[in-house]
Structure 1
Amino acid sequence: MCGLEAWIGDCYLRDVEDGTDYRCHAAVWASDHDTFCAALAAHIEPLGLAIIWLEEALPTSHYLAQNGTLAPLQTKALAEVVHSRHLVELGPMQRVATDGVPQRYLTIEDHRPVPLPDQTGILLWDQDWIAPELKELLFGQPEDEPKMRTYLIVDANLRKNITGVFDLDSVDVPVQCLFKGETAQELEESAPYLIDMTLPDGAWEDRALVPDFHRDFFRNHWGHNTGIFIRTNALMGEVWRHFRKFTLVPREGRKTRVFVRFWDEQYIRLYFPHIADNRERVALWFLRDGFCVRGLLADQDGGKAVREILLQHALFLVDNIPSKPFEITNYDLAPFYKEREQKDLRKLAAALKKGFPNDLKHYSEEMITSLIDEPVARMVAYGFSQQKHLYILAAWSLFFGKTFDQKDPSGYLLDIFKSSLSEADKMSALKNRMDQLSPAKGARS
């Protein structure tokens, strides 16, 4: 783990009780983005606040270098206040005017189309190739509006897991790799591809005109999350130029670039709902060069459900498209960080359930997860990252209380947590102190 230092972040917080939103700068004694989030969350929870999202959470030197003279003087002063015994300092809080309900530029709808009935005994070419409701979602046309086209961005590697071979060079629909040149050649069998799945004229009524690719896709690939569907009135070349810009993008504050797998279902499930009320981000993804992406869709729950992301307020956005190219920020990564944290927390809860079968026999894994959530976040803020250490610390929080670190009458236990010792030395010192405080060692070994 990197050394602890002062980090600065632009924070958007919400009053849990009345829903009021605030913006402020915060300084946090942290080692990375995860410890910044955990320490801030632990600090503001007793204040009745919760994190909505963070922007530009960076080490102070990086933050000041990036913002230069734009960084307020009081923000610089915040960094001088935090240290190992004072982890978080909030700057002045400004209320964010939302007029009640925050403006949302994307709507999210979940559909559960009725699947096709069993077609056993029906000749293959006489079988329906797609369920009616799903057909309407993916290929239906609006009345009195320009024709909507349907595209699929598919991961060739994930598709190959089903087909067994790379076949996108021999299908009967238009295909174009989102990579170019040598990169497209070298990564041919694992690259993302844009496929025009717009139904040919007459194919809506006449199944004989439906391409073989469509039949095969909905028979063998639907439900395996190999890509996402896009609906727009733009032509294939326009869609290709727009979305290929998101494949390899710069990371804010770093010289490296990030490979963005936006065709993964996680973006439908986590990322696009996350940016739904962020006008600039929605405009970057959904509006470009005179056309708009009307919807992104992905199959969920093994193909039994469809999540649809629909653009709203396009007329308001169209004159305000940001000119700045897309770059990945901590705000963009926040939902993925949260997903990973929750996954790790559930694994930790399962390990505790297995490790203490008698003590926790009346506790479900979900209950254990809820009990250790806040203590583990606090432990991470203290600098712990190794699972073997978090396992012990989470166990202590279960058996000695969520705030066991603050129950040492002498305050020595808390001093160890806040010390600058290495993680291993800190853990050793904590074990020794816990042995001194209690003769019961079962949950500490």
Structure 2
Amino acid sequence: MAKFEPWIADCQFQQTDAHANCQSRAAVWADGPDSFRAQLSEHVQRQGLTLIWAEDCYPVPQYLAKHPARQREIGPVARVVCQNHPVVLTDLVTVEGEDQQAEDCNCVIVTPVEDVEPLDMQLGVYPPRSVPEVLQRPLFGAVDAIDEEADFYGGADAVPPMQTYAVLDASKMPYVLTGLLETSGLRFQSLFQRKTQQELGEYAPYLIELAPDSSFTRNLFTCSDGIQGLWEKGLGIYIRSRAGFEDVRRHLRKFTRLRDDDDQWHYFRFWESSILSVFTNEEAVELAEALLNDGTYRGQTWLVPAKTLRDVSIIQRAPGRYAAPTVPPRLTAPVILSLDDGINALRDAQDISGALDLLPESTAEQEIPDTVQLQSSLNMLWDQGFKASEKRQEALCFFIRASWLGKTDDASQILQNTAQGPAIRLWHLRNMIEGNAE
């Protein structure tokens, strides 16, 4: 049974009369996060305040272990709070506006790295590279501690080194990726647990602590022509943080399922390239910053490969937001719409790539339609009932070939005959194209 003791959290409140927001750290005599929030809410309501959020909510020893530089501030309130004096606040600091942390959308910085060339077989190269040269520094370079960071950790010598992690999606290589991880010698663990992990272990996201000299790390950044090259699989994202493995996993697990505005739960696949839409959407600033805030001073830096796997985006908190609290994450309607757009764009890109791969080698000299034309054709196929990815890709391939034969109108007529199923229409298209090719 949990015992009552002083708990601390970073809090934000709304002033009921002034409609302004203010921040404070609160000490509460509690036996857990729920009783902390309940007592604090009741207490501040009597002062004309409404609790908006409470973050980094821990018993005092655990809070100070995470934030040792705050000992001088927290010590006095922690010593005062008790059963007869259950709530104590530090000085309230007014913030400008209801959405201070979204001001100018400068909470998060996104830096593109273009034309990333994955590693090849590196024949005759010694020692072989583990990552492309352009990603060496972002992934494994040393990151010196700044003065404020040293103060946060209680001295420059106390600042933890920067670690490198990956979050990889086993569903893209069921029963293969987990086998590779087991023989990699690297530390790894699923972000799922208990019953969910038992049922979905081969389709789960896995956190891996990467080492620069690991063959598994090298395989992640090697093209498919190389031995065990995995780059084209688009397995996930890469993270840098001063937090240890358990703290990073605990932080990321908060995002595997999120509530929407209607209090409904959603699985949130933040390890997909579609997550880029969250970091570039002005409506998603709060979620974007929360993803990066793992309690370390700088927070996390993410490296997210684009859906084309030719570019990588480096995403980090803005220096002005270092160590600042964030709003608890929530999937608002604009965020869901943004994610849907990102997922749809990824799906369309995969369909177009798959259709082009189906084109016969004998047509290599033919001119490929531009991106706008291909997207328009793909949208048409969706409207005409080609819901299965394989059939949609095959239909797009046939439609491209029909355009080369000057049979676009004939192909369109076949495709628009929705009284017939997709398989029958594909059969007619194949016969038309192969008959004309002869």
- The alignment's TM-score, normalised by the length of structure 1, stands at 0.46
